[in-house]
Amino acid sequence: MRSVFRMFILLASTLVLIECKSHQENPTSVTPENPSALRLNYDVVYYTGGHSVLLNSGRLFARGLFYECKVSDTNSNFESFRASSYTEDNSNDFRQLVSETDQAKFNSRQFQYFPMGENSRATVFSGCAKGSGAEKCYVRWEWQKEAFIFVFETQLENKKGLGAAELGKEFHEFVSRGIKAF
């Protein structure tokens, strides 16, 4: 009976090692996640509605987080977004998708402010620049809750010819419908 038990343990261990090894040899076998929620800090969550595929996530720096997602909702004008959270004391480490120098080169730039809970507001920056081909746009949504700053950013090709203000308002609606603070 003991030898059967030992053989079973040996066989099970071998199968576990083979399974673990095969995933390490073939990293493309990992499927992207389709999360329903992204935790931005201890009391703020972004609910994706299951319409986002997580491409990359991790720690941006000391207490900051980031998520890069592809939008799988075909009704959205946005193909992807990056969600980040950081604290005031490490804001120097935060890097935007488009540098402030490049943002200054946009032909049309808009700052908009939208009310949020707890007597706060979200700031939305949007800008577009005509390059070779279609117009390229960048939209950044920021909201501060206590010491944390939450940033959602996207870059897109302006296929519909919307103005920077229209893109900013649409991105605010896209982000704000998923933000929940507890």
SS (H, E, C) the chain: CHHHHHHHHHHHHHHHHHHHHHHHHCHHHCCCECCCEEECCCCEEEECCCCEEEEEEEEEECCEEEEEEEECCCCCCCCEEEEEEEEHHHHHHCCCCCCHHHHCCCCEEEEEEEEECCCEEEEEEEEEEECCCCEEEEEEEEEEECCEEEEEEEEEECCCCCCHHHHHHHHHHHHHCCEEEC
User: Could you give the domains of the chain?
Assistant: 37-181 (2.60.120)
pLDDT in tens, 121-174: 999 999 988 877 778 899 999 999 988 899 999 999 888 888 899 999 999 999
pLDDT in tens, 20-73: 443 444 445 456 678 899 998 888 999 998 889 999 888 766 667 889 999 988
pLDDT in tens, 90-128: 666 677 788 888 888 888 899 999 999 878 999 999 998
Instruction: Place 77 in a pLDDT band, splitting at 50, 70 and 90.
Output: confident
Q: What are phi and psi of 100, to 5 degrees?
A: -65, -30
pTM score of the predicted model: 0.77
Q: What are phi and psi of 16, to 5 degrees?
A: -65, -45
